[in-house]
Chain A
Amino acid sequence: MRDRVKQETSGTKVEVVRVDDRHAATLAEFIREVWDSRATPEGVRRARVAAAAANPVTPGEEIPTFLFLANGRALGHVTTIPIRLWSGGTERPAHWVKGLWVLPEHRNGPVGFLLLKEAVRHLGFAMAMVVEPAPRRLFEALGFTDVGAVPNFLRVLRPAKVLRELDVASIDLARMPRCLSLAVRTTQWSGIATGAVAVAAGVTWLWTAAAGGPGHRFKVEAPTGVNVREYDDLWRLTRTEIAAGPVRDASYIRRRYSSRDEGRYQLVTVRRDSALVGFAVVRQPRTEGDPRLKGIRVATLSEATFPTDRTDVGLALVAAAEETARQLEVDALLCTASHRSLPPLLRRRGFVRLPGNVHFLVHRPAGECNLPGVLADWWLMRGDSEADEVF
Chain B
Amino acid sequence: MAPEEIVAKVFGAALSEVRDDTSNKTLAAWDSLGHITLILELEATYGISLSPEELFAMTDVASIKRILSSHGVTWWP
Counting CB contacts under 8 A, is B67 at the interface? Answer: yes
> Do A9 and B51 touch (CB < 8 A)?
yes
Q: Are B53 and A138 in contact (CB under 8 A)?
A: no
Q: Which of B24, B34, B71 contacts A2 (CB 8 A)?
A: B71
Given A2-B70, A6-B70, A108-B25, decide whether A12 and B53 contact each other with a Cβ distance below 8 A.
yes
Q: Does A134 contact B (CB under 8 A)?
A: yes
- Is B24's CB under 8 angstroms from A109's CB? yes
Q: Which of A2, A4, A108, A112 has the most CB of B within 10 A?
A: A108
Contact of A110 among B55, B66, B69 (CB under 8 A): B55
Q: How far is the CA of A225 from the CA of B34 in the complex (A)?
A: 49
Contact residues of A: prevailing secondary structure: helix
Q: Binary interface profile of B, 37-77, with partner A (CB < 8 Å = 1, else 0)?
A: 00100000000000111111101000000110111100000
Give every chain A residue within 8 A of B66 (Cβ-Cβ): 5, 8
Docked CA distance A12–B54 (Å): 10
Bound together, the chains give a CA A102 to CA B31 distance in angstroms of: 12
Partner pick for B35 among A8, A10, A110, CB 8 A cutoff:
A110
Contact B32 A110 (CB under 8 A): yes
**0/1 string, A84-122, CB within 8 A of B gives 1:** 000000000000000000100001111111100000000
B32 pairs with A138, CB closer than 8 A = yes
Taking the nearest CB of chain A, how far is it from the CB of B56, in angstroms? 5
In the complex, A375→B54 CA distance in Å?
39
The verdict on A15 contacting chain B, using a C-beta distance below 8 Å, is yes
Out of B33, B36, B52, B59, which one reaches A134, CB within 8 Å?
A: B33
